[in-house]
């Protein structure tokens, strides 16, 4: 569980892998994640040739197409630096599913396994590797946390994100009903089964709102868009923020370490 052990010394450099959703739809969350890492004195490298981890094709059963994309992404990280991903599900794909994708090709499988060792979801990296210690500068607020399913079950993000939020004394984290239940996004699932997906997203939006929190926090752009846009369609002002953006705003005036 303590993957931070692999980097017992603080890394001086990291690769930042934004994911296609963050790149196109939530770039501010990506910039905020980069700031969170940089303020700890770590140099952030952004491989320009990054596109997508391959998840949509992989989960749709189009393994060849997923493999082709995954192969190009695996070449982007030549140095032995950690790869930080501000999304549990994309991090889960690189850590757990790339080795499966290349199971029939030993050299590539070995490469995928070596990469998997270096992949961290953002909150896990901040907590266990950089061991951040923060000073909360924001006003008192109550938020609630939605953790994506892959983040929860493949990356343990629900615990890491909660531990990070617990460092902020002015932030109260309310627990929603059916906290561990999926929000109904599921990538292409939301397009293939819109009625089931909408029912799930609606229930999740209700549960988050019923906590009375000012906002919900999510470490996954996919869930956040699914829930936020469901709320927007209802004309509801209650919205979610990416964990990186929320943390950045809380720490804004606490002095740069870097």
Which segment (20-28, 114-122, 167-175, 243-251) binds other proteins by CB under 8 A?
20-28
- In three-state secondary structure terms, 241 is strand
Q: What is the 3-state secondary structure (H, E, C) of 182-201?
A: CCCCCCCHHHHCHHHHHHHH
129-141 burial by CB neighbour count: b if 16+ within 10 A, else e? bbebeeebebeeb
d(C-alpha 30, C-alpha 14), whole Å: 14
Task: CB nearer to other proteins: give 143 or 227.
Answer: 227
Query: Contacts with other proteins in 214-233 (CB under 8 A)?
Result: 225-226, 229-230, 232-233
Number of residues that bind other proteins (CB under 8 A): 65
Instruction: Give Cβ neighbours of residue 193 (< 8 Å, ≥ 6 apart).
Output: none
Task: CB nearer to other proteins: give 2 or 139.
Answer: 2
For residue 41, the minimal CB distance to other proteins (Å) is: 17
Instruction: Give Cβ neighbours of residue 9 (< 8 Å, ≥ 6 apart).
Output: none
For residue 217, the minimal CB distance to other proteins (Å) is: 19
CA dihedral (137, 166, 91, 229) positive or negative: negative
Task: CB nearer to other proteins: give 27 or 41.
Answer: 27
Annotate each residue in 52-81 with x if it binds other proteins (CB under 8 A) or - if it does not, as one string: x-x-xxxxxxxxxx--xx-xx---------
Report yes or no: 252 and 137 within 8 Å, Cβ to Cβ. Answer: yes
Among 6, 10, 13, 28, binds other proteins (CB under 8 A): 28
For residue 76, the minimal CB distance to other proteins (Å) is: 9
Burial of residue 258, with CB atoms counted within 10 A of its CB: 0-12 exposed, 13-18 middle, 19 or more buried: exposed
DSSP conformation class of 7? G
Q: Which two tokens stand for residue 73?
A: 């992404």
Task: CB nearer to other proteins: give 137 or 198.
Answer: 198
Residue 202 sits in the site that holds other proteins (CB under 8 A): yes
Please count the residues of the chain.
Answer: 258
For residue 136, the minimal CB distance to other proteins (Å) is: 26
For residue 140, the minimal CB distance to other proteins (Å) is: 30
Place of tokens 């990186």: 244
Among 15, 77, 98, 185, binds other proteins (CB under 8 A): 185
Contacts with other proteins, residue ranges (CB under 8 A)? 18, 20, 22-28, 30-31, 34, 46, 48-52, 54, 56-65, 68-69, 71-72, 100, 149-150, 153-154, 180-182, 184-187, 189-202, 225-226, 229-230, 232-233
């Amino acid at each position: 569980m303590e993957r931070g052990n692999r980097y017992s010394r603080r890394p001086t450099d990291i690769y930042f892998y934004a994911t296609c959703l963050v790149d196109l739809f939530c770039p501010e969350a990506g910039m905020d994640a980069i700031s969170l890492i940089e303020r700890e004195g770590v140099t952030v490298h952004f491989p320009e040739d990054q596109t997508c981890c391959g998840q949509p094709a992989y989960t749709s059963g189009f393994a060849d197409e997923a493999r082709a994309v995954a192969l190009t992404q695996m070449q982007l990280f030549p140095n032995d630096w950690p790869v930080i991903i501000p999304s549990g599900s994309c991090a889960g794909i690189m850590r757990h599913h790339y080795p499966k994708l290349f199971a029939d090709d030993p050299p590539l499988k070995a490469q995928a396994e070596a990469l998997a060792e270096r992949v961290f979801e953002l909150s896990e990296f901040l907590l266990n590797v950089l061991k951040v210690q923060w000073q909360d500068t924001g006003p008192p607020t109550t938020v609630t946390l939605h953790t994506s399913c892959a983040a929860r079950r493949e990356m343990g993000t629900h615990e890491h994100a909660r531990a990070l939020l617990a460092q902020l004394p002015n932030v109260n984290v309310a627990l929603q009903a059916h906290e561990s239940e999926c929000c109904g996004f599921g990538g292409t699932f939301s397009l293939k089964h819109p009625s089931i997906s909408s029912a799930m997203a609606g229930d999740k939006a209700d549960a988050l709102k019923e906590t009375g929190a000012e906002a919900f926090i999510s470490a996954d752009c996919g869930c956040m868009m699914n829930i936020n846009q469901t709320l927007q369609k209802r004309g509801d002002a209650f919205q979610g923020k990416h964990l990186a953006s929320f943390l950045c705003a809380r720490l804004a005036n606490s002095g740069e370490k870097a």
